[in-house]
Chains A and B, each alone.
Chain A
Amino acid sequence: METLIQQVTVGLASGGIYACLALALVMIYQATHHVNFAQGEMAMFSTFVAWALIQAGLDYWPAFFITVVGSFIASAAIEFAIIRPLHKAPELSVVAVFIGLLVIFHSVAGWIFGTEIREFPSPFPKDAWFGGSLMSPHQVGTIFVAMCIVAGLFAFFQHTTLGLTMRAAAQNPGSSRLLGISVGRMLMLGWGLAGAIGAVAGMMVAPFVFLDPGMMTGVLIYAFAGALIGGIDNPVGAIVGGFLVGVLENLLGTYVVGTDLKLTAALVLIVSVLIVRPAGLLGRRTVQRV
């Protein structure tokens, strides 16, 4: 029983990371109706940048801060330069561009930083008070960070004017423009936020799995699955889905199929759920008006 609880809590820790990345995916999806398949690789790249800054002598938190801000700016720039010009292109073509971005980030990271596995520090000291027999301080810290991001985003979108404006731009770009809202600027902001969240997710996961270019591929798949099982149009769903997938993955890996097959098993399970509830657990079944 104790190990079960332990596995669940460990699952919650990785779930927190999936939840963050899932949230980033849903945010961009809500604004643009595209899934940024390159989100994982962008997060990985950000983490490498943080690592390089730390290697160059910066303390953890300054490096963290610079990385987050830099990721924000870079993601906004990508939206402006690469994604926006294609807003009239067929949807699958945009998917191909995301694949292109994914591949570019992955390859360039390996090229600049090399492909050896590296350690990445955790900001939570190993003997911190909040660690315990069940979870390491970093795992607790990760869940805490995930919750902070979620709470922060919720407050931002629900209670600030800028958040309201961004929601409007995502929901109804036409009406927004008639009210003077610059939809393009809101899109850039949305992408920037997503990139920043991705960077945080990357820096939280790196101490667990060690840093290398392949670090985020599995994470992205889990995050995507989590977002879908929660309902792709629903930020709360993304978070719930992310945590759910984290726990599921860990339990499957520990008790049922072992680490090799856990991705397979998790995905099969998720798809089975989707067949029963095609819009996800919390997704809105959109009634199609003719």
Chain B
Amino acid sequence: MQVSSVTASSTHGVDQASTFMSPRNILILVAIAASLAYFAQGYVLFQATMVLAYAIALVGLNLLTGYNGQISLGHGAFFATGAYSLAILMNWDVPYWLAIPIAGAISMVAGYAFGRPALKLQGLYLALATFTLSVVLPQLLKYKLFQPWTGGVGGIVLIKPDAPFGIPLSSDQYCYLFTLLITVLMFLIARNLIDSGTGRAIRAIRDHQMAATSMGINHQHYKSMTFGVSAAFAGVGGALSALAVQFVSPDSFTMFLSISLLVGVVVGGIGTLWGAIFGAVFIMFVPELAEKLSKDSAWAVYGVILILLVFAMPKGVMGLINRLRVSTLVRN
């Protein structure tokens, strides 16, 4: 059964996304999530929308880091690329439903354009290179030359779209449900990618690049492509977040965002698909929680919670869940 795949890869959690839930359970989950639009209001709905947007970005980052073994401390930059692309496009009167995939495509190109020259960099060197991205982008966004497009330090204001076809939903509710739809779509794309031959190639490169190459896998192509796809996911997440916030500015996309995304991947579970949800919840709510616990040293509390979580679940939430599943399976 699936036990062998669960125990096989010890460092990377469950590689196959399909083992976690049956299609029926997933449908139930989505239905529950959708009903949130009815029960929750205003700020909570906004937070839920942001969680979904982050989750998409985390799926992207995990694709690169967990499944392909390339680290990125700069995914905030691709998140920002998506957000700003959306904002600029909508400023040019492109409808949101068209702007979002375009924003994703632009981010994909950006990711590929970065991934290709960075091919020879590994580990820490790649970490520095990607970190550079996250430092450079806010500067670029503030740069005077680009101001006509980016709005400079002031940023760009957006307006949430109304529900189409006169459906009786508030723009908040519509935005949430639309984001949910995109999230489901992106998860499906990711799952199909991971389970496909491409996905196997990507994982083979992570596990042993030299062996993969000797089997005929063009690691240069796959690694840069993974960067591109991963950036596309981050870009879509960023675009959706921009829609929810209705505002983009350089200061929303500092290196801190990139670090948060990495933390989210670790907390959720490296190399897992569903971990993205848990990671996104962590990114969204733990800083607020920390502030409630201690006004002055909120970040210290955040750090302590993070460290405790890593101690309790070194392989993330999904790692813990999988351990529990294995022990129940073994008992049966």
Binding site for B on A (CB under 8 A): 29, 35, 82, 85-86, 88-90, 92-97, 99-104, 106-108, 110-111, 221, 224-225, 228, 232, 260-261, 263-264, 267-268, 270-271, 274-275, 278-280, 288, 290
> When A263-B135, A268-B136 are in contact, do A99 and B129 touch as well, CB less than 8 Å?
no
Cα distance A138–B252 in the bound complex, in angstroms: 38
Whether the Cβ atoms of A100 and B310 lie closer than 8 Å is yes
Whether the Cβ atoms of A271 and B297 lie closer than 8 Å is no
Which residue of chain A has its CB nearest to the CB of B137? A264
Cα distance A95–B130 in the bound complex, in angstroms: 15
Whether the Cβ atoms of B300 and A108 lie closer than 8 Å is yes
Whether the Cβ atoms of A95 and B307 lie closer than 8 Å is no
> When A271-B128, A274-B121 are in contact, do A104 and B210 touch as well, CB less than 8 Å?
no
> When A100-B307, A101-B303, A103-B303 are in contact, do A274 and B262 touch as well, CB less than 8 Å?
no
Whether the Cβ atoms of A99 and B259 lie closer than 8 Å is yes
With contacts A101-B303, A264-B132 known, what are 5 further pairs, Cβ within 8 A? A96-B267, A103-B303, A111-B297, A275-B117, A275-B120
Question: What are 14 A-B pairs with beta-carbon distances under 8 A?
Answer: A93-B314, A93-B316, A95-B266, A97-B310, A100-B306, A104-B300, A104-B303, A110-B296, A110-B297, A232-B124, A232-B125, A271-B129, A275-B129, A279-B125
B263 contacts A by Cβ under 8 Å: yes
Whether the Cβ atoms of B304 and A100 lie closer than 8 Å is yes
Report chain A residues within 8 Å CB of B306. Answer: 96-97, 99-100, 103
Which residue of chain B has its CB nearest to the CB of A266? B132
Whether the Cβ atoms of B315 and A103 lie closer than 8 Å is no
Whether the Cβ atoms of A274 and B128 lie closer than 8 Å is yes
Cα distance A228–B262 in the bound complex, in angstroms: 21
Partner of B124 from the list A35, A89, A94 (CB cut-off 8 Å) is: A35
Which residue of chain A has its CB nearest to the CB of B266? A96
Which residue of chain B has its CB nearest to the CB of A263? B135
Main secondary structure on chain A at its contact with chain B? Answer: helix
B150 contacts A by Cβ under 8 Å: no
> When A100-B306, A107-B298, A108-B297 are in contact, do A95 and B136 touch as well, CB less than 8 Å?
no
Residue of A111, A260, A270 with highest tally of chain B CB at under 10 A: A111
Whether the Cβ atoms of B125 and A274 lie closer than 8 Å is yes
Report chain A residues within 8 Å CB of B131. Answer: 221, 267
> When A95-B266, A275-B117 are in contact, do A267 and B314 touch as well, CB less than 8 Å?
no
Report chain B residues within 8 Å CB of A92. Answer: 65, 71, 262, 265-266, 270
Binding site for A on B (CB under 8 A): 11-12, 65, 71, 117-118, 120-122, 124-125, 128-129, 131-132, 135-136, 139, 210-211, 259, 262-263, 265-267, 270, 296-304, 306-307, 310-311, 314-316
How many whole Å from A259's CB to the nearest CB in chain B?
A: 12
How many whole Å from A231's CB to the nearest CB in chain B?
A: 10
Report chain A residues within 8 Å CB of B65. Answer: 92
How many whole Å from B111's CB to the nearest CB in chain A?
A: 16
Report chain B residues within 8 Å CB of A95. Answer: 262, 266
Cα distance A280–B121 in the bound complex, in angstroms: 10
Whether the Cβ atoms of A90 and B311 lie closer than 8 Å is no
Partner of A96 from the list B11, B122, B296, B310 (CB cut-off 8 Å) is: B310
Residue of A97, A110, A260, A280 with highest tally of chain B CB at under 10 A: A97
Which residue of chain A has its CB nearest to the CB of B120? A278
Report chain B residues within 8 Å CB of A90. Answer: 11-12, 270, 314-315
Cα distance A275–B121 in the bound complex, in angstroms: 7
Whether the Cβ atoms of B262 and A96 lie closer than 8 Å is yes
How many whole Å from B288's CB to the nearest CB in chain A?
A: 15
Report chain A residues within 8 Å CB of B270. Answer: 90, 92-93
Partner of A103 from the list B129, B265, B300 (CB cut-off 8 Å) is: B300
How many whole Å from B33's CB to the nearest CB in chain A?
A: 27
> When A111-B300, A264-B135 are in contact, do A274 and B315 touch as well, CB less than 8 Å?
no
Whether the Cβ atoms of B299 and A103 lie closer than 8 Å is yes
How many whole Å from A90's CB to the nearest CB in chain B?
A: 5
> When A90-B315, A264-B139, A271-B129 are in contact, do A104 and B266 touch as well, CB less than 8 Å?
no
Report chain B residues within 8 Å CB of A274. Answer: 121, 125, 128-129
Report chain A residues within 8 Å CB of B310. Answer: 86, 89, 93-94, 96-97, 100
Which residue of chain B has its CB nearest to the CB of A38? B303
> When A228-B124, A278-B122 are in contact, do A104 and B299 touch as well, CB less than 8 Å?
yes
Cα distance A93–B263 in the bound complex, in angstroms: 8
Cα distance A35–B123 in the bound complex, in angstroms: 11
Report chain A residues within 8 Å CB of B314. Answer: 86, 88-90, 93
Cα distance A281–B67 in the bound complex, in angstroms: 30
Cα distance A208–B79 in the bound complex, in angstroms: 36
Which residue of chain A has its CB nearest to the CB of B267? A96
Cα distance A220–B120 in the bound complex, in angstroms: 24
Report chain B residues within 8 Å CB of A268. Answer: 132, 136
